[in-house]
Amino acid sequence: MKIRYSRKFIKQLAKQPKKVEKALKLRLALFEEDITNPMLHNHALQGRLKGYYSINISGDVRAIYQIIDDEIYLYDMIGSHSQLYG
């Protein structure tokens, strides 16, 4: 599994509190270990974000990714529920 980050994701992450960065590292470790871990609440999105998936990072913060191929997962957005879906 290879995790990649879009420029948009990196810019959005830089605006998040440090505790979100720490939580992201922990969640991505879980993600790499077991993509179906219930703590991630990993699920496919619908509507305008169809084709993307979301995982919980902490509280209201979500990370949105897409599957590029069998090995590459591209994280494209991170933010609060209202920032991403509002």
- On whether the CB atoms of residues 10 and 24 are closer than 8 A, the answer is no
How far is Cα 8 from Cα 41, in angstroms, rounded to an integer?
Answer: 22
pLDDT one-digit tens code per residue, 25-61: 999 999 999 999 999 999 999 999 999 999 999 989 9
CATH of domain 2-85: 3.30.2310.20
pTM of the predicted model, to two decimals? 0.93
